[in-house]
């Protein structure tokens, strides 16, 4: 059985005043039956880790460099994230693929770096609207998955996969439950093909306009083990409602 995960991606949002939301979230879920993760901007990472220390809320980064250290101005290594209190890192988000030209090969190298630093990697895949319209969704996400994951070290503890259709991010548009199930079932099959029994425990998150109002039906969908939430993770009250829906969802 897979342990469910509610992950919040704050993206480039949040000044120090926003730490109160993390504290409120930790207080609202003292002993959840699921895993909870918040990924703030790097500037808040160590303070957020301190703020939620001892609670059930884990903290993660939103990106890392593939190398451990060196002359890479502005970049942050996986080891630095771990040192700042992170236990996860989001990799290959579509905004990084688009804004920074990240390729599957680079994301794979970053995933290897994350695993070497003891972080769990939340590896993101997702099609654009044009790719979906062209009937390419399963081929696109399948290629992203296979190119972004390393051959070694992939287990239920070290890797989480997030399916985030690009056209559903921040738009209020959500795929049908059949469309979500089709992609998640195909990701699960691809993981099984490549990693065998170890793949059974790898969590598959859905991301893209998850809100308190649509969370329950998404969490009841085949092979959905949780969510990667953007906008609705910024407010503890909204994210709490999504967490409650995940806790109430049937076991995967």
Q: Residue positions in the annotated binding site?
A: 9-11, 170, 209, 230-231
Can you read off the two tokens belonging to residue 167? 């056209």
To ligand 13P, the closest distance from the beta carbon of 169 in angstroms equals 4
Can you read off the two tokens belonging to residue 195? 């990693």
210 touches ligand 13P by CB under 6 A? yes
The Cα–Cα gap between 244 and 249 comes to 9
29 is catalytic: no
Residue nearer to ligand 13P on the CB measure, 226 or 230: 230
Can you read off the two tokens belonging to residue 68? 């451990």
Encoded one letter per residue, x for contact with ligand 13P by CB under 6 A and - for no contact, window 5-34 reads: ----x-------------------------
To ligand 13P, the closest distance from the beta carbon of 168 in angstroms equals 6
SS3 120: strand
Can you read off the two tokens belonging to residue 45? 């990472």
Catalytic residue among 21, 102, 164, 184: 164
Q: Which of 209, 221, 223, 240 binds ligand 13P (CB under 6 A)?
A: 209
To ligand 13P, the closest distance from the beta carbon of 208 in angstroms equals 5
The Cα–Cα gap between 144 and 211 comes to 26
The Cα–Cα gap between 44 and 29 comes to 21
Q: Which of 20, 118, 170, 213 binds ligand 13P (CB under 6 A)?
A: 170
Can you read off the two tokens belonging to residue 243? 């967490």
- Alpha carbon of 129 to those of 136, 169, 214, 236: distances in Å? 10, 11, 21, 30
Binding segment toward ligand 13P, per CB under 6 A, in 21-29, 30-38, 80-88, 229-237 = 229-237
What H or E segment, with its residue span, contains residue 94? helix 94-99
Catalytic residue among 93, 95, 102, 184: 93
Residues 124/90, Cβ–Cβ less than 8 Å: yes
Cite the active site residues. Answer: 93, 164
- List of residues contacting ligand 13P (CB under 6 A): 9, 93, 164, 169-170, 207-210, 228-232
């Amino acid at each position: 059985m897979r342990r469910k995960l509610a992950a919040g991606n704050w993206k480039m949002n949040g000044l120090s005043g926003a730490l109160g939301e993390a504290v409120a979230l930790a207080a609202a879920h003292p002993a959840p039956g699921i895993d909870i993760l918040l990924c703030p901007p790097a500037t808040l990472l160590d303070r957020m880790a301190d703020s939620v220390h001892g609670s059930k809320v884990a903290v993660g980064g939103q990106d890392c460099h593939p190398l451990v250290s060196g002359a890479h101005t502005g970049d942050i290594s996986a080891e630095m994230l771990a040192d700042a209190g992170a236990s996860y890192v989001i990799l290959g988000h579509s905004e990084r693929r688009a804004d920074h030209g990240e390729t599957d090969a680079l994301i794979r190298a970053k995933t290897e770096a994350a695993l070497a630093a003891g972080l769990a990697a939340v590896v993101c895949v997702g099609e654009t609207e044009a790719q979906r319209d062209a009937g390419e969704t399963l081929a696109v996400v399948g290629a992203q998955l296979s190119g972004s994951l390393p051959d070694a070290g992939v287990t239920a503890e070290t890797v989480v996969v997030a399916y985030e259709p690009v056209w559903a991010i921040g738009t209020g548009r959500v795929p049908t439950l059949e469309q979500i199930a089709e992609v998640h079932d195909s990701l699960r099959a691809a993981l099984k093909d490549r990693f065998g029994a170890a793949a059974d425990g790898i969590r598959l998150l859905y991301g893209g306009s998850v809100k308190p109002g649509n969370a329950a039906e998404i969490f009841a969908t085949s092979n959905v083990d949780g969510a990667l939430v953007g906008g609705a993770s910024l407010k503890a009250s909204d994210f709490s409602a999504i967490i409650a829906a995940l806790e109430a969802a049937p076991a995967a």
